[in-house]
Homo-oligomer: A and B are copies of this chain.
Amino acid sequence: MYGVTMTIKIAIAGASGYAGGEILRLLLGHPAYASGELEIGALTAASSAGSTLGELMPHIPQLADRVIEDTTAETLTGHDVVFLGLPHGFSAEIANQLGPEVTVIDCAADFRLQHAEDWEKFYGSAHQGTWPYGIPEMPGHREQLTGSKRVAVPGCFPTGATLALLPAVSEGLIEPDVSIVSITGVSGAGKKASVPLLGSETMGSLKAYNTSGKHRHTPEIAQNLGEVSDVPVNVSFTPVLAPLPRGILTTATAPLKGGVTAETARAAYEKFYANETFVYLLPEGAQPQTQSVVGSNMCHVQVEVDEHSGKLLVTSAIDNLTKGTAGAAVQCMNLAVGFEETAGLPQVGVAP
């Protein structure tokens, strides 16, 4: 049915984290899992090795008895597809040990950036290379990802910001100087014990962090927008932590180019995303809300002209764990191994 005839065996490294759990959720709902074309093999982690999945992920009762193995090249060997949900650095270390015949879908940052100097500046280590970058909606990327044995899954903020701004930059609606504020749910920070991420500290509070270009997703956003621009795009990026488990709302403003109107802006967005299943341009007057995309692989977008200030305003909503990470990973896997691109990826959010 999808042009594959054998069973694809999948391993997930970092299965105890939020990205790993979400990849599992999506795979278990994938039609190829139901049909037996897709099989879930090794689940690995670091400190959780030896635990059962049931202890770590009670929301996945089907695999409760699975024992988590150590994350090593050995435990990952013998799989057709390996998802990596590991800290950067360690991710590249593991990836570099996997054979060229294995499809590696890396959710870490190691292979996202094209310029070694960006990597070194923001990550402080040696650049490991650049892989096909997993936003199929970016011009040319779907083609690169189709059949690829290596995929760099994008960061959650870059996904929300890129899908918001791509048509504006590509179609010349704005000056190349964007101010982005992205408000995120707390699962984006991962599943590691930390006082500032406690429920007590995050419920009932809002806080910006890694401001003033310190966030490592800043160069990734600039790189993506730069791909569709003749000139470098100046990016001011401010992430804000908000009291919800999942979701990123991105607001982006930039100076309008002369002659751009609400109509031309909207028309440019409609045309740009006309064939994209996972980008939904909301009707005029409606604003994206993160609730609408919880658990789905959708990005909801709205574009407006603010005549008062002479700015274009674009807003987008994604689930940071789905379209922002695990959904993108599965979407890329679909392209890489020959499944239908949209297979197993919910288009309806779990709202309210």
Contact = CB atoms under 8 A, between A and B. Distances in A.
Interface of A: 18, 21, 24-25, 28-29, 31, 34, 54-55, 57-62, 64, 177, 179, 181, 183, 185-187, 189, 191-195, 197-209, 211-213, 218, 234-238, 240, 242-247, 249, 251, 253, 280, 282-283, 286-296, 298, 300, 304-311, 313, 315, 317, 346-352
A115 B238 CA distance: 33
A205 B306 contact: no
12 contacts: A25-B348, A28-B347, A31-B31, A59-B296, A59-B350, A186-B203, A192-B195, A200-B245, A211-B306, A238-B253, A238-B313, A295-B295
B352 A247 contact: no
A201 B58 contact: no
B204 A310 contact: no
A317 B205 CA distance: 10
Nearest to A52: B283
A255 to B, nearest CB: 8
Contacts of A286: 54-55, 58
A242 B202 CA distance: 12
A195 B166 CA distance: 33
A247 B350 contact: no
A192 B199 CA distance: 11
B181 A18 contact: no
Contacts of A253: 179, 236, 238
Nearest to A181: B181
A106 to B, nearest CB: 22
Closest 6 CB pairs of A and B: A213-B308, A205-B291, A199-B202, A59-B349, A212-B306, A236-B309
A293 B59 contact: yes
A243 B240 contact: no
A245 B206 CA distance: 11
A303 B213 CA distance: 14
B295 A350 contact: yes
Given A205-B289, A253-B238, A283-B64, A199 B306 contact: no
Given A198-B198, A347-B61, A54 B283 contact: yes
Given A59-B350, A204-B291, 6 more contacts: A59-B294, A60-B348, A197-B198, A206-B244, A207-B287, A212-B308
A351 B203 CA distance: 10
A351 B59 contact: yes
A278 to B, nearest CB: 10
Contacts of A298: 61
Contact of A198 (B60, B191, B296): B191
Contacts of A186: 198-200, 203
Given A346-B29, A348-B28, A183 B59 contact: no
Nearest to A351: B59
B208 A247 contact: no
B236 A18 contact: no
Given A59-B349, A218-B308, A348-B60, A203 B244 contact: yes
A206 B247 contact: yes
Contact of A283 (B55, B193, B206): B55
B289 A206 contact: yes
Contacts of A62: 347-348
A34 B253 CA distance: 39
